[in-house]
Chains A and B, each alone.
Chain A
Amino acid sequence: MSVKILNKLLLTIGVISLLHAAYSAAQYRTFLRITEQDSSQLPFDIVLQALVSLFVIVYNIIQVVGDFKEIRAAVELQEKTWETLSNIPSFYIFNHRGKALAPNYVPPSGSGKADLSSAD
């Protein structure tokens, strides 16, 4: 849990740092224009800050968002069990012994034997 919070914190710091790098780059550009210097390259520290904060963001976003799914198709299917294989919700039928679980269940009248013979 604390790891999650740390990840979220790092993510926020990363985003702020990336924005800061962008702001610094813009500042640097205006500085160049004012002093009428000519350079197409950004200073190394701004580039480094941008790259580092990008990687921090990418890593922490992956940690925060959630678990990955297994790439092999069989792994997910391994979790299914034999017991639930034949349970098909669209074809449930309700006249089974589960009825007797109801608190207001009234057992059918007459002895079991009579029922059997009438069913034949």
Chain B
Amino acid sequence: MSYNYEELSWSDVKDMLRKWRETTDRKSESIVQLWEAVLEEKMGKLGNERHIILEQVVIAALDCGRMDIADKCMKELIAEFPDSMRVHRLKAMRFEMLESYDKALEILDGIIKKDETNPSARKRKVAILKAKGMNLEAIAEICDYLTKFMSDQEAWHELCNLYLQEADFEKAVFCMEELLLHNPHSYLLHLRIADIRYTMGGTENMETAKSYYLYAIKLNPTNLRALYGLYLCCLHITNSKTVLAKRKEAQTLGQWALTQISEKNSKRKSKTSNKYIAALDSAFANMDIKGK
């Protein structure tokens, strides 16, 4: 995305970066652009947020392969905090970006030796294994990490992602359930579990997925993904060989989900212009006829 830099004041940019930090958006390219265009000259004005913004920019620059910017910002940080573990970790990340993983590991091991309770260095070690494509080793490492830091939500989430990459759905669901205990009101976690259960397939999993989708809808009634997931689940159950009563129930529920979806869609449609959608519809209808 590009912004009109002249309209943005440096405090707007500061707020934007803070928002991205809090929501963990990975907008590395935008961060680097905004840094170059707006914030770099105003570095003195940033106050107590200066260091955390520098760190954010370093990581974003590494993410985009902009070594020049990363080095410049890192120099500032090293000059101020030559012994900081956090800066050492950034150095390790720089080596990771250059793909000299051995040097990065050396630094990280040094950090862990000095401070055994430093979680971020251990997490970077997992990330290195991930970057090398050694998913199974990464899983082993992160499991080891989780025996020491059991309440680390990020790590549980990452473990879930790794299990999903390895298509080990049972264990991925376990990780997600662990997260759900920390955050029972997050509709996204319910949605995640429902999606995984749906992917696993089978009538029993469909039933579980259905209840998770329902709970996600309860927590966030405007979520289309949950509604559509519910519809698919119900469709699956209706076409399965379960008890008739259950099938009937699923059918009505599926109908309800569908009406909700179309209601939301018609609301959205009325906002945009109807003409184009009608044209698209007719185009698809033509395709159907040709297909037959």
Residues of A within 8 A of B (CB): 73-74, 77-78, 80, 82, 84-95, 98-105
Contact = CB atoms under 8 A, between A and B. Distances in A.
Given A88-B157, A91-B130, A94-B62, A80 B188 contact: yes
Contacts of A98: 28-29, 63-65
Contact of A86 (B68, B130, B157, B187): B157
Interface stretch (B6-14, B106-114, B120-128): B120-128
A78 B25 contact: no
B185 A102 contact: no
A92 to B, nearest CB: 7
Contacts of A101: 29, 64-66
Contacts of B97: 94-95
A91 B154 contact: yes
A35 to B, nearest CB: 58
A29 to B, nearest CB: 48
Contact of B186 (A77, A104, A105): A77
Contacts of A82: 188, 191, 225
Contacts of A90: 120, 123-124, 127, 154-155, 158
A103 B120 CA distance: 30
Contacts of A103: 66
Contacts of B130: 91, 93
Nearest to B184: A73
B161 interface: yes
Given A85-B188, A88-B154, A95-B97, 13 more contacts: A74-B185, A74-B220, A77-B220, A80-B186, A85-B192, A86-B157, A86-B161, A89-B154, A90-B155, A91-B123, A91-B127, A92-B26, A93-B131
B84 to A, nearest CB: 17
Contacts, number: 94
30 contacts: A77-B183, A77-B185, A77-B186, A77-B188, A77-B220, A78-B219, A86-B157, A86-B161, A88-B24, A88-B158, A89-B26, A90-B120, A90-B123, A90-B127, A90-B155, A91-B123, A91-B127, A92-B26, A92-B59, A92-B63, A93-B130, A94-B65, A94-B96, A94-B97, A99-B65, A101-B29, A101-B64, A102-B64, A102-B65, A102-B66
Nearest to A77: B186
B93 interface: yes
Contact of A77 (B120, B123, B187, B222): B187
A95 B154 contact: no
Contact of A87 (B24, B66, B99): B24
Contacts of B93: 94
A99 B247 CA distance: 51
Contacts of A104: 67-68
B23 interface: yes
Given A98-B64, A100-B65, A102-B65, A89 B187 contact: no
B26 A87 contact: yes
B65 A74 contact: no
B118 to A, nearest CB: 12
Contacts of A93: 96, 127, 130-131
Nearest to A95: B131
Contacts of A89: 24, 26, 59, 154
Nearest to B101: A95
Contacts of A74: 185, 187, 219-220
Contacts of A84: 23-26
A73 B225 CA distance: 21
A101 B32 CA distance: 11
B138 to A, nearest CB: 9
B23 A92 contact: no
